[in-house]
């Protein structure tokens, strides 16, 4: 059976290597931040965004417990403010849309208006042969809206410059799925 989390990491690792820069646009509890930190290693750099202070606390704890390289910057701000915090190009970025897992507060969730701005900013700083991975959680109203709006928007991109793909288990319509955005 297909494991979407394993598949996501395979896509990222095909583009991201030791010594490069990566961004976790929605750090949550830090699982992707840790993965990116370990992937780029001591000489790489990871920036991670979240608007909730508890996400930074949880992520920092996870990174320290895992003895992750000290190659990360945790930023308590919205991902759409990328250019205010990161002044360098990067090779890979990960988004997990929705709310902070385990938090219980489902009122604080990513919103299409800022998600689109974040992806636009990311594309402007993404290096050639770079990748963005956007996980969508359609089990709630905003998640469904974000996923549909994102798919419609990505379908307008010039494939000669940016290749956009969607990976979903089709016989489980409310299960998470993800988009892969690859810059040529």
What is the average pLDDT across 14-35? Answer: 97
Neighbours of 98 (CB within 10 A): 22
Does residue 64 or residue 170 have the better pLDDT? 64
- CATH, residue 15: 3.40.50.150
Number of domains in the chain: 1
pLDDT at 167 over 90: yes
According to the 3-state scheme, what is the secondary structure of 63-120? HHHCCCCCCEEEEECCHHHHHHHCCCCEEEEEEECCCCCCCCCCCCCCCHHHHHHHHH
Residue pLDDT, tens place only, 60-105: 999 999 999 999 999 999 999 999 999 999 999 999 988 656 665 6
Residue pLDDT, tens place only, 110-156: 788 999 999 999 999 999 999 999 999 887 778 888 999 999 999 99
Given this model, what pLDDT does residue 103 score? 64
pLDDT at 1 over 80: no
Given this model, what pLDDT does residue 142 score? 80
**HSE (CB half, 13 Å, CA atoms) of 155?**
7
Extract the tokens encoding 52. 């909730």
Given this model, what pLDDT does residue 102 score? 67
Given this model, what pLDDT does residue 97 score? 87
Please report which confidence band the pLDDT of residue 50 belongs to, taking 50, 70 and 90 as the band edges: very high
Please report which confidence band the pLDDT of residue 109 belongs to, taking 50, 70 and 90 as the band edges: confident
Domain that holds residue 96: 4-183
Whole-angstrom Cα distance, residue 15 to residue 152? 25
166: left (phi over 0), alpha (psi -120 to 50) or beta: beta
Does residue 182 or residue 112 have the better pLDDT? 182
| Nearest to 59, CA basis, from 37, 35, 29 | 29
Give burial (CB, 10 Å; 0-12/13-18/19+) of 132: buried
């Amino acid at each position: 059976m297909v494991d979407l989390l394993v598949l996501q990491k395979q896509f990222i690792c095909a583009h991201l290597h030791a010594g490069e820069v990566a961004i976790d646009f929605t750090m949550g509890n830090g699982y992707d931040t840790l993965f990116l930190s370990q992937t780029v290693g001591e000489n790489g750099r990871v920036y991670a965004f979240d608007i909730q202070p508890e996400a930074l606390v949880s992520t920092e704890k996870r990174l320290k417990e895992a003895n992750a390289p000290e190659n990360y910057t945790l930023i308590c701000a919205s991902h759409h403010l990328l250019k205010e915090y990161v002044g360098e190009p990067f090779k890979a970025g990960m988004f997990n849309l929705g709310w902070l897992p385990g938090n219980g507060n489902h009122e604080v969730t990513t919103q299409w208006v800022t998600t689109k701005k974040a992806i636009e900013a990311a594309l402007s700083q993404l290096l050639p042969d770079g990748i963005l991975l956007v996980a969508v959680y359609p089990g709630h109203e905003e998640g469904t809206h974000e996923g549909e709006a994102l798919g419609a928007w990505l379908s307008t991109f010039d494939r000669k410059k940016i290749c956009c793909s969607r990976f979903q288990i089709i016989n489980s319509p409310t299960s998470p799925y993800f988009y892969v955005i690859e810059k040529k």
